[in-house]
Structure 1
Amino acid sequence: MANDATYTPKYVRILEVLKERIQDGTYPVGERLPSETALVQEFAVSRPTVVRALNDLELLGWIEREHGRGSFVKARPSDEPEDRLRLGLAVLDRQEKADSVRLVEAGRRSAPGWVATRLGLAENAPVVLRRRLGVHEGVISDLVSLWAPLDIASSGPLGQSAPLTVPVRRLLTMAAPGRLVRVTEAISARRASGEEAKLLELAPGDPVLSVVASVLDSTGRTVLVLEVALPGTLHELTDTYPI
């Protein structure tokens, strides 16, 4: 019988092995994982494959990556039977550290139609846009765009051109009329725009995985819309479930 692992992407196998080692205590909470170079040698793969596995482990909440120091084990994210890539939540909780986030633009802009619809605004209504690149050890992993209504953004520094000193979720918690209660995500694949291709350093024709999320508070209002554009050549969203 053929081995199922033969048909599993290499980065997924690395991810699963590292998760097993965290679960069985080989890598305790707080411990640094082997370096990217060591993992490349152990699994006989390329560096982008290792970066891809570590990036997804971080998005799943298993590890935290620090520029120049390495990847460190966090507490197990949950007791649910399967992990879920909660990209919207990961974006809300990401720190804008100078060595891992590169700010592209920030300030008042006109809302695109699809953003205005989600925010309950008229098309081209003024909003605050914050756009940033996620970078680790020189590898660009994602492009994040955040759109907030003016009244939400005005009570915090979302529009500032300097790195945020607190995560976006904390800013929203202070600015939203009600407490934050839900993130709704939609995932699709599409061709990268010219600007995205340039920022993400994609080859012509390369696709992106687009994750669009709406953040709602307890009054039912959408207080933030965000999009994460992931290079299709670097990311693959996978799931496993019983039948």
Structure 2
Amino acid sequence: MSLESVPPKYAQLVTELQRRIEAGQYPPGSTMPSEHQLIDEFGVSRPTVVAALRVLRDQGWIDSQQGKGRFVRGRPALASLESARAGQVRLAGSEAAVSGEVLQAGVVETPNRIGSLLGLAVPGRAFLRQRLLTLDDAPSELLSLWVPLELAEGTDLTSAAPLKQGVRQHLEARKGVGFDHVIEHIVARMPTAKEAEALSMRADIPVLVVYATARDASGRPLLVVDSVMPADMHELEDAYPLA
């Protein structure tokens, strides 16, 4: 069985290994197949296997013991409660799957916080793709995608039409970059006048703002997703294990 042609490769491998653990093919306490065995069976590269095993370890499906190998723990107790983070959803999801319109797409001067997250000089300039998302025909979220100029060049981010791919998949295909992790900051504040107008909300209602900075394996910032949401319409939930 080869997963090499199905992107992203490591995510497909994670799904298959989770399926085998849940089905009892890899029972709790058993030794996981070695990296070489997984490479040979699935026809993928070593980095793909290493990434998949790291995800399984971080999520609690397996344990790693130095000099002994990797052992199956089983399905994590919180697996059914875990949900994708806000930044993860915005990077992976197709724009066409979410109702909304593109408000602007072009080069702008970055606010200080965005410039700092992107590692730009102050004042800095970046490409901004901003969309107003709707729920039941009412404004629900102001979503801004901030991309360094060199990464935005030669992409479809300037289009007024919804992207059929997720932003991550689009930039990986067009620019050859590799997304490794996301750092999120959540802020509660009062909306600006422009935000209140765009979201058709009262200026005395706070907003929740999620700043999600996507980085490559070296830590270089690739883009920032900035989500502004009326606090009376949204609730943020997370689930995590206790050590």
Checking the alignment, whether the CA contact within 8 Å between 1:119 and 1:149 is kept in structure 2 is yes
In the alignment, residue 182 of structure 1 is paired with which amino acid?
H
Checking the alignment, whether the CA contact within 8 Å between 1:109 and 1:129 is kept in structure 2 is yes
Match of 2:211 in 1: 212
Match of 1:89 in 2: 88
| 1:127 equivalenced with 2:126 (yes/no) | yes
Checking the alignment, whether the CA contact within 8 Å between 2:105 and 2:130 is kept in structure 1 is yes
Match of 2:202 in 1: 203
Match of 2:100 in 1: 101
State the alpha-carbon separation in 2 of the partners of residues 150 and 242 from structure 1.
39
Offset of residue 170 of structure 1: 1.1
Offset of residue 174 of structure 1: 2.6
In the alignment, residue 166 of structure 1 is paired with which amino acid?
Q
Match of 2:136 in 1: 137
Checking the alignment, whether the CA contact within 8 Å between 1:130 and 1:146 is kept in structure 2 is yes
State the alpha-carbon separation in 2 of the partners of residues 178 and 97 from structure 1.
23
| 1:228 equivalenced with 2:227 (yes/no) | yes
Offset of residue 115 of structure 1: 1.2
After superposition, the Cα gap between the structure-2 partners of 1:123 and 1:174, relative to the gap in structure 1 and judged at 3 Å, is: farther
Identify the range of structure 1 (144-153 vs 78-87) with the bigger mean alpha-carbon deviation.
78-87
Offset of residue 219 of structure 1: 3.0
TM-score normalised by L of structure 1: 0.62
Secondary structure of 1:180's aligned partner: coil
Task: Structure 2: state its 5+ residue gaps.
Answer: 1-76
Offset of residue 239 of structure 1: 4.2
For 1:104-161, what per-residue CA distance to the aligned partner results, in whole angstroms no more than 9, with x for missing partners?
1111111221111111111232210010011132122211011100110003111333
State the alpha-carbon separation in 1 of the partners of residues 203 and 150 from structure 2.
39
State the alpha-carbon separation in 2 of the partners of residues 84 and 99 from structure 1.
18
State the alpha-carbon separation in 1 of the partners of residues 98 and 181 from structure 2.
30
For 1:180-234, what per-residue CA distance to the aligned partner results, in whole angstroms no more than 9, with x for missing partners?
1101111121101111101111113011111001000123210101111111110
After superposition, the Cα gap between the structure-2 partners of 1:176 and 1:219, relative to the gap in structure 1 and judged at 3 Å, is: farther
Offset of residue 92 of structure 1: 1.3
Cα-Cα RMSD: 2.4
In the alignment, residue 101 of structure 1 is paired with which amino acid?
G
Percent identity (aligned): 34
State the alpha-carbon separation in 2 of the partners of residues 111 and 99 from structure 1.
26
State the alpha-carbon separation in 2 of the partners of residues 200 and 232 from structure 1.
12
In the alignment, residue 200 of structure 2 is paired with which amino acid?
E
In the alignment, residue 174 of structure 1 is paired with which amino acid?
A
Checking the alignment, whether the CA contact within 8 Å between 2:78 and 2:239 is kept in structure 1 is no
After superposition, the Cα gap between the structure-2 partners of 1:151 and 1:239, relative to the gap in structure 1 and judged at 3 Å, is: closer
State the alpha-carbon separation in 1 of the partners of residues 125 and 240 from structure 2.
43
Match of 1:154 in 2: 153
After superposition, the Cα gap between the structure-2 partners of 1:127 and 1:239, relative to the gap in structure 1 and judged at 3 Å, is: closer
After superposition, the Cα gap between the structure-2 partners of 1:114 and 1:204, relative to the gap in structure 1 and judged at 3 Å, is: closer
For 1:152-175, what per-residue CA distance to the aligned partner results, in whole angstroms no more than 9, with x for missing partners?
000311133332232211122135
In the alignment, residue 202 of structure 1 is paired with which amino acid?
M
Match of 1:55 in 2: none
After superposition, the Cα gap between the structure-2 partners of 1:99 and 1:155, relative to the gap in structure 1 and judged at 3 Å, is: same
Task: Structure 1: state its 5+ residue gaps.
Answer: 1-77
Larger-Rg structure: 2
Checking the alignment, whether the CA contact within 8 Å between 1:128 and 1:153 is kept in structure 2 is yes
